[in-house]
Amino acid sequence: MGDWRVIANIPYFAERGCVESIESYALRSDGKIANWFRFRKGSFDAPQKRIDFVAEVTNPRTNAEWRVHFAPLISAAYLIIDLDPGYRWVVVGHPSRRYGWIMARTPTLSDATYRNLLERLEAQGYDSRAFVKVPQTRRRVPGTAAR
């Protein structure tokens, strides 16, 4: 639970061009998970936007399989495919391998950790070249390639 900075993703229409992207999670009293996404579109000077979702764990044995509900009839499966033992970073994927996110508790990851995660994604059948870094601080240039 808590805040996770989107360090890199396989961009799709809703996240393309976003900067300062943050996924947040909080356990609700009904056992589901409140999930909200904050971001700025195209510039750090753009207003921050927020979109709210509801998620649920679909495999309570592992807690690694989730379903995120975007609207009453629209949902997607998300898989926690890699997790730092100290919860400093997480890698979230999709069964199709067309979507993926590398997230961290902090705005950056070391280059070594980032490269290692891309290698591990590649070993799991993802195209690591499809991942694009998401600018989290003004020092990063939007559109910077992941490699």
| Res 146: pLDDT | 46
114-143 burial: b if 16+ Cβ within 10 Å, else e: beebbeebeeeebebebbbbbbbeeebeee
pLDDT in tens, 1-12: 999 999 999 998
Confidence at residue 147, expressed as pLDDT on a 0 to 100 scale? 45
Neighbours of 144 (CB within 10 A): 12
CATH superfamily of this structure's domain 2-133: Calycin beta-barrel core domain (2.40.128.20)
List, run by run, the mean pLDDT of 10-residue segments along the chain (147 residues): 97 92 97 96 95 96 94 90 96 95 97 97 95 86 49
Residue 72 has a pLDDT of: 80
Per-residue model confidence (pLDDT) at position 143: 53
- The pLDDT tens digits of the residues spanning 76-105 come to 999 999 999 999 999 999 999 999 999 999
Instruction: Give me the pLDDT at residue 54, please.
Output: 96
State how far the alpha carbon of 40 is from the alpha carbons of 78, 84, 141, in Å.
Answer: 23, 27, 14
Give the residue extent of every domain in the chain.
Answer: 2-133
Taking the C-alpha atoms of residue 108 and residue 136, their distance in angstroms, rounded to an integer, is 7
